[in-house]
Structure 1
Amino acid sequence: MNNRTSRICEQCCRPVNNIFLLKTHKCASSTIQNIIMRYGDRRNLSFVLPREGNYLGHPKPFSKFMLPLDQVPSYGFNILAHHTRYDLAAIKEVMPPDTAFLTILRDPADLFDSMYAYFGLYNYTGASLTQFANDGDRQSFLRMNRFEDRFGPNQMMFDLGYDVERLNETSIQEAIEKIEREFDLVLITEYFNESLILLKNIFCWDTQDIMYFKHNKRKQEGSISREVRESLRRYNAADMKLYRHFKSKMEALIDAFGRKRMEEEVNNLQLWTKLIYQHCVENLGESTLKETKAYSKDVLSIVLKSGVQGNGQNRMCYDMARAELPYTERLREKQRLFAKSAQLL
């Protein structure tokens, strides 16, 4: 826990409303994003949103000039939680001084496996993941020619704004130290529930605020051999150093929180999440409902029960299941209406 995080804790229990999430690719960040969008939506907080779609720049770093003028509220922004490429100075230009900075990291081998499948990199490289992991020429090709200029090795470092081809042992360590200074909490996918419990307590939120349904779950989970896993970790060496550092830090935070206390809070979160899931969800599969239909055909949609779909009283079901693009458009339209109303006053 850094000094910025300690200062946030000292404000407790005053809920944290000003939040920046650096949404890393294929790290369960869509699930975190849904939690944050629900939180802000319920409280009528203002979001930094792209004019269309769900990207604010990327591969270009974030800039305030990416924002549509008709969606910049006079009272400022509270939340930035969409894909962008990290630039601290630019983010500070649009976010309040007391903004809490979050991101989430994942084992680079699993991230790369997921990214390779989700974005169809096998078509780009002409190789299966196993073939790619054993082919230095193809690895060099993707290193020098990122897919769409943004997807490739060391994806987390890339999302965090670094020129990954210029990184060396010294600059990687400097980057890790900089990230530790600038981010209040770095969540870890492999400690997902524990990360949420820490977030809840640091942010003075309630258990209801962090309940979640898994978003963008693959239809077919990858299974990679030990040899492929180790090859991918070497290929993503900068990400691996980053991940190991913050995984160790997360384990220390859990110890400081108290293992028994953490277990009790995780069990409570899982209980409430199970209850809301049983109330809302029919299954994971193909959704015919536009609001919950996943963007990619390769991931599962959250299919709501038929009785829930037509019942406006079940807003939490809708919001927890709502896919990123429909939720983003909902927030975009909401802010347009707020802006028009403000102009009439």
Structure 2
Amino acid sequence: MGLRWLWRHRVSGLLLVLALLLLLTLLATHSLQTNRTHELRPTADRRNERKAAEKHSSPLTPNTHQPPKHKPTARAEGRRAHPPVVFLKTHRTGSSTVQNILFRFGERESATFAFPSRTYQFNYPDRFKVAFVDELPEGSSQFDLLCSHMRLDLREVRKVMPQNAVFITLLRDPVKTFESLFGYYTSIVPAFVSAYRAAANKGKSALAVFLDSPETFWDPKEPWNGLAKNPMSFDMGLNNQKWNGSWPEHLAQLEEAFHLVMIAEHFDESLVLLGALLGLEHEDLAYLRLNARAGNSVTELDKNMQAKMRSWNVLDTLLYDFFVQVFWEKANQFGLNKLKAEVTRFRASMESTRQKCVSRAEVSPGELEDLLRPWQTETTTIVGYEVRGNLSLQDQGYCIRMMLPELQYHSHLYFKQYGRDMRAAPAD
């Protein structure tokens, strides 16, 4: 009884509306949502305490975790007062674009990156562990930025990063995310590979064949199949296979841990809030959309396919809807009119930057030099940018960095930090 009873009745109207909206696309899971969604929010007292705390303290207020035992260096003391950042890089949400912003920011500030000890990911799809992180480089007192791919484990991440680290991530509409992920990883994720083979003689797209009977292709015991069902929940360390009793508690813990969960459908608004959180200017937040597919690599989805996709990824739907609500709560705290005005100014600044930097957009990989050519999969085409000529050396460096694909920039920063190339992944 008590607070939990009061909270359930307080949100009963909201839950009814959500249930009706989800009914059209989630018939198979209707009873699950109507019975469980009331547990997704923290208690009323807990939310009120958070709001009160946000009025009187910074998101950088130290938590109870012990900081790394290193003495500060002159290099660290000479930096601008920006907080350490943990960016959970989710798959096919626009996260490569955000990572590039953080890479540029970190390089300019001589930040120390927490890099994977091998290749570009923290032993994905395993849950993050301290052992996956390369050593702290000589002369650094702490890690300042962690923004490589991982499957989240909050307790392990907090052992690596300073106690005042700001946690951010990015979510995207589950239908758009899954369509993009399927196209990008058709030849990599085992469930998608099986569907691709099955579609060979059926006259249907591999995605349509998969959505007709996803259980046929999906083996939850295969680690890389984590991306084949509720991939955003998987990246965030949640149980992505099915609802269980710990899901609401873990979701509440994520809300407590993350200072900002950006929403891809409100990307510019998200960046303005990120800038306010980290003390960044419009120039710092300038971006070009990276790791984007060519138009002919995108599968058109009819309403039936979208409904099947939401049903298969019902936990991602709940996750996304939950954090969209949290996002607009933070936007309201910032001030909606202020946010709208800031977004207008930011977009004007962005247009000027693009005009200065970009000669051609959506350039096919065959026309790009190695430095600016994104990594390609067997089943999709990733396009890039061509930089304008006749730029000053300073502008050329700025523009090229904005266009650098993830792997090239990651390798550059790793070598700059450690003076050596990244180690290869161990052979199976």
Residue number among 296, 311, 320 corresponding to 2:376 in the alignment:
296
Distance 2:286 2:168 in 1: 18
Matched, 1:212 2:284: no
SS in 2 for 1:20: strand
Structure 1 pair 313/305, CA: closer, same or farther in 2 (3 Å)? closer
Residue number among 124, 136, 151 corresponding to 2:194 in the alignment:
124
TM-score w.r.t. the length of structure 2 is 0.72
Residue number among 262, 275, 278 corresponding to 1:187 in the alignment:
262
Q: CA deviation at 1:125?
A: 1.7
Distance 1:70 1:203 in 2: 23
Q: Which amino acid aligns with 2:333?
A: A
Distance 2:291 2:315 in 1: 26
Distance 1:231 1:73 in 2: 53
Report if the CA contact (8 A) 2:92-2:177 is conserved. yes
* Equivalent residue, structure 1, for 2:156: 90
Structure 1 pair 147/262, CA: closer, same or farther in 2 (3 Å)? same
Report if the CA contact (8 A) 2:136-2:142 is conserved. no
Q: CA deviation at 1:305?
A: 1.9
Structure 1 pair 312/203, CA: closer, same or farther in 2 (3 Å)? closer
Report if the CA contact (8 A) 1:5-1:185 is conserved. no
Q: CA deviation at 1:79?
A: 0.4
| Alignment deviations for residues 36-58 of structure 1 (CA, whole Å, 9 cap, x no partner) | 11111100000011234310111
Structure 1 pair 165/52, CA: closer, same or farther in 2 (3 Å)? same
| Alignment deviations for residues 101-157 of structure 1 (CA, whole Å, 9 cap, x no partner) | 01111111111100000011553323421222222xx33432535573442101111
Distance 1:87 1:9 in 2: 20
SS in 2 for 1:174: helix
Where do 5+ consecutive residues of structure 1 fail to align?
A: 339-345
In terms of Rg, which structure is larger?
2
Report if the CA contact (8 A) 2:59-2:259 is conserved. no
Where do 5+ consecutive residues of structure 2 fail to align?
A: 1-46, 62-79, 200-205, 421-428
Report if the CA contact (8 A) 1:109-1:233 is conserved. yes
Report if the CA contact (8 A) 1:5-1:184 is conserved. no
| Alignment deviations for residues 277-305 of structure 1 (CA, whole Å, 9 cap, x no partner) | 11111122135332221112611112212
Q: CA deviation at 1:251?
A: 2.2
**RMSD of the alignment, in Å?**
2.4
* Equivalent residue, structure 1, for 2:410: 328
Residue number among 25, 34, 58 corresponding to 1:8 in the alignment:
58
Residue number among 369, 389, 413 corresponding to 1:306 in the alignment:
389
Distance 1:245 1:73 in 2: 42
Distance 1:73 1:59 in 2: 31
1:253-268 alignment to 2 at 5 Å? 253-268=330-345
- 4+ runs deviating over 4 angstroms: 1-6, 70-74
Distance 1:96 1:70 in 2: 13
SS in 1 for 2:169: strand
Report if the CA contact (8 A) 1:285-1:301 is conserved. yes
Distance 2:90 2:112 in 1: 21
Percent of aligned pairs with the same residue? 26
Q: Which amino acid aligns with 1:246?
A: F
* Equivalent residue, structure 2, for 1:318: 400
Distance 1:295 1:72 in 2: 31
Structure 1 pair 264/40, CA: closer, same or farther in 2 (3 Å)? same
Structure 1 pair 8/314, CA: closer, same or farther in 2 (3 Å)? farther
Q: Which has the higher contact order (CA 8 A, sep 6+)?
A: 1
Report if the CA contact (8 A) 1:143-1:153 is conserved. no
Structure 1 pair 147/119, CA: closer, same or farther in 2 (3 Å)? farther
| Alignment deviations for residues 63-108 of structure 1 (CA, whole Å, 9 cap, x no partner) | 1212233747641200000001111111111100000001111111
* Equivalent residue, structure 2, for 1:30: 96
Matched, 1:81 2:158: no
Report if the CA contact (8 A) 1:197-1:262 is conserved. yes
140-149 or 33-42: which moved more?
140-149
104-113 or 148-157: which moved more?
148-157
60-69 or 76-85: which moved more?
60-69
1:226-245 alignment to 2 at 5 Å? 226-245=303-322
| Alignment deviations for residues 225-276 of structure 1 (CA, whole Å, 9 cap, x no partner) | 1111111111011111110010112123223333322221111111111111
Q: Which amino acid aligns with 1:336?
A: Y
Number of residue equivalences: 332
Q: CA deviation at 1:5?
A: 6.2
SS in 2 for 1:56: coil
TM-score w.r.t. the length of structure 1 is 0.88
Structure 1 pair 129/45, CA: closer, same or farther in 2 (3 Å)? same
Report if the CA contact (8 A) 1:17-1:79 is conserved. no
Q: Which amino acid aligns with 2:329?
A: A
